[in-house]
Amino acid sequence: MGILNRTPDSFYDQGATFADTAALQRVDEIIAEGASIIDIGGVKAGPGSEVDAAEEIDRVVPIIAAVHERHPGVRISVDTWRADVAAEAIKAGAGLINDTWAGYDPELMEVAGQYHVGYVCSHTGGITPRSRPHRAHFDDVVADVIRETTALAERAVDCGVPEELIFIDPTHDFGKNTFHGLELLRRIDELVATGWPVLMALSNKDFVGETVGRPVRERVAGTLAATAWAAARGVAAFRVHNVADTIDVLRMTAAIQGKAAPLHTVRGMA
């Protein structure tokens, strides 16, 4: 899942794809690099300037329509917690709702069911959208994540969301500290064992930066290490900024496991 930020204040790219031309060029690049899902969001996840639903729609819907026309075979995800934004995004061509705020708008899942599109079930520890965790505590963060995300997944099915289009996402950094993020990776087998496809959004996040002591632009190596660990344990999808690097990690991991063949073998073969 390649990330396309339609925000002027993204923590990672600082608005590099806010302009339409730059956004479409980036989409072309990340699809060429191997992304099979494009996740388009119009509101920065963290605190920042207010963005109402109308502005969010203006930021994401025209680009979703353009990407859908340009790349009809690629699934488009809309990163939103608002039902009205999701409905307009689906009409424009989105086939997946990435609800990173864990059902904060109860009507959002109903929209996914109404249109029979996919849905990402997230875990935030109960915090409100665009807020940061404060003294985050869980008796058992993994158990809490499993309980909340699987309950959301079951409710999504009841709402009409196709079961095969549902992901559960432990949602690193959202309502959690770095120790929670590491624990979720350490015990990822337990999430995979639920049977629901697991999506992880690890890319350049604060828990990576705090673990390796690196600022945002220097977290790729740490992100890829976490990605390889999670991929080897059955995580189904990764939401990423660095698509080409991630594809290499996933391909190498699969080859080590014997699940994929090397792409080009000549050494010692003649």
CA geometry: angle at 49 spanning 48 and 53, to 5°? Answer: 115
Sequence-separated (6 or more) residues with CB below 8 Å from residue 65: 92, 93
Rounded Cα–Cα distance for residues 161 and 154 (Å) = 10
Rounded Cα–Cα distance for residues 15 and 207 (Å) = 22
Nearest to 192 by CA among 137, 158, 229, 225: 229
45 close to 8: Cβ distance less than 8 angstroms? no
> Where do runs of H (alpha helix) occur along the chain?
20-33, 53-70, 83-92, 107-115, 141-159, 178-186, 188-192, 206-212, 220-232, 243-257
51 close to 16: Cβ distance less than 8 angstroms? no
Among 26, 59, 205, 219, the one annotated catalytic: 205
Packed helices 220-232 and 178-186: angle between N→C axes, nearest 10 degrees: 30
Catalytic, 205? Answer yes
List residues bridging with 121 in a β-sheet. 99, 168
Catalytic, 91? Answer no
Among 239, 251, 259, 267, the one annotated catalytic: 239
Which amino acids are annotated catalytic?
Answer: 205, 239
